């Protein structure tokens, strides 16, 4: 028998109480006269209805904390069955799995969304709203979350350490907010992560070397922040990485040669930092490289001959550095360049004959 303790639950919506009491009588009746398996099925259905009621109540509590206009937008949010509300999807058992409210102009904070009530939530999509305040540490309670998108809002404060509890997370987007503080080292625990978007914030401090442990990472966007220190060598372990953006930060030191191990890399954006040293020869190992943007740094030395092996290259921007020496003749091998800019350098201009017009 299932305990009936839920009867005292204060989470039941007033309007659903009579219906539930009827259901209880019904179950109590049949559990006496029918085989226990039938009673269990009914009891499971009943438990699910109660869970859905808790989820509905938690969502309504959040709705009521948003501004009036947002409450109008969410006017379909009414009653005790959230599964047919705008932006909400449920599993077959009627438990909320997806909250998809991108581009809804919702205004308010997340502090009244009680994350303890969504044991089955896999997606929380709140892209491009007018949400503000901090990201609550209780977000770590969403134990099944795979997709979290808080981008294009006005969130501030730090990235909560509890985010590392979201072990199923595949997609984490917090870009285009006002997030400050450092990127927690604990982010390296999100082993399922394939998309990490933290760009256009006010993040400071070093890039944690633990990011090198995120072996499923495909897109890593950390650009347009205030990150400093050097690029950790461990990032070379990211062999699935397709796009790597560290542009417009305050990074110093040299480009680690381990980047040559990122064999899937197509886009490498390191422009507008304070990087020094020479361009590592190992970059020539990145056969899929399509855009290499290293402009506006303090890079020295000559352009490595290995660049000539990057036959897929479309865009090579090296201007505003302190490079010197001849331009490698192998660059002639790259036949479908769209944009090749080396200007504002100290390079000896002995470009392969028909390439001079590529210079900006």
Residues in the site for ligand NAG, rule: CB under 6 A? 68, 89, 97-98, 100, 102-103, 114, 116, 122-123, 125, 127-128, 137-138, 140-141, 146-147, 154, 162, 177-178, 188, 209-210, 212-213, 234, 236, 257-258, 260-261, 272-274, 282, 284, 296, 305-306, 308-309, 330, 332-333, 354
**Nearest distance in Å: CB 13, ligand NAG:** 15
* CA–CA separation, 137 and 143 (whole Å): 13
Strands 88-90, 96-100: parallel, antiparallel or unpaired by DSSP? antiparallel
Q: Residue 292's closest CA among 326, 256, 317? A: 317
**Nearest distance in Å: CB 49, ligand NAG:** 18
Number of other CB atoms surrounding residue 298 within 10 Å? 13
* CA–CA separation, 110 and 331 (whole Å): 52
* CA–CA separation, 60 and 80 (whole Å): 9
72: DSSP letter: H
Closer residue to ligand NAG in complex, CB, 16/261: 261
**Nearest distance in Å: CB 289, ligand NAG:** 13
**Nearest distance in Å: CB 295, ligand NAG:** 8
Closer residue to ligand NAG in complex, CB, 234/314: 234
Closer residue to ligand NAG in complex, CB, 100/341: 100
**Nearest distance in Å: CB 36, ligand NAG:** 31
Q: Each residue of 343-357: b (16+ CB within 10 Å) or e?
A: eebebeeebeeeeee
Closer residue to ligand NAG in complex, CB, 158/309: 309
* CA–CA separation, 346 and 6 (whole Å): 77
């Amino acid at each position: 028998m299932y305990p009936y303790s839920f009867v005292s639950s204060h989470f039941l919506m007033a309007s659903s109480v009579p219906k539930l009491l009827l259901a209880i009588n019904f179950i109590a009746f049949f559990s006496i006269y029918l085989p226990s398996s039938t009673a269990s099925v009914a009891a499971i259905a009943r438990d699910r209805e109660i869970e859905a009621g808790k989820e509905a109540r938690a969502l309504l509590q959040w709705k009521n904390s948003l501004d009036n206009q947002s409450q109008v937008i969410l006017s379909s949010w009414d009653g005790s069955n959230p599964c047919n509300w705008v932006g909400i999807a449920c599993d077959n058992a009627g438990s909320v799995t997806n909250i998809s409210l991108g581009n809804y102009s919702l205004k308010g904070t997340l502090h009244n969304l009680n994350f303890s009530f969504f044991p089955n939530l896999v997606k929380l999509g709140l892209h491009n709203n007018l949400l503000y305040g901090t990201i609550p540490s209780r977000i770590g309670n969403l134990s099944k979350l795979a997709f979290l998108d808080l981008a294009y809002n006005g969130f501030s404060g730090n990235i909560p350490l509890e985010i590392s509890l979201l072990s199923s997370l595949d997609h984490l987007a917090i870009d285009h907010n006002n997030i400050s503080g450092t990127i927690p080292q604990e982010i390296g625990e999100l082993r399922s992560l394939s998309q990490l978007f933290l760009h256009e914030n006010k993040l400071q401090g070093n890039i944690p070397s633990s990011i090198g442990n995120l072996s499923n990472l495909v897109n890593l966007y950390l650009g347009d922040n205030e990150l400093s220190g050097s690029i950790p060598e461990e990032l070379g372990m990211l062999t699935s990485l397709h796009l790597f953006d560290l542009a417009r930060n305050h990074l110093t030191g040299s480009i680690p040669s381990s980047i040559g191990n990122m064999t899937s890399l197509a886009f490498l954006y390191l422009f507008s930092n304070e990087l020094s040293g020479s361009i590592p020869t190992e970059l020539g190992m990145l056969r899929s490289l399509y855009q290499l943007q290293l402009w506006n740094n303090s890079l020295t030395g000559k352009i490595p001959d290995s660049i000539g092996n990057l036959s897929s290259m479309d865009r090579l921007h090296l201007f505003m550095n302190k490079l010197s020496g001849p331009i490698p003749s192998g660059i002639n091998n790259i036949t479908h360049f769209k944009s090749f800019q080396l200007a504002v350098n100290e390079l000896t201009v002995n470009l392969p004959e028909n390439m001079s017009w590529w210079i900006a």
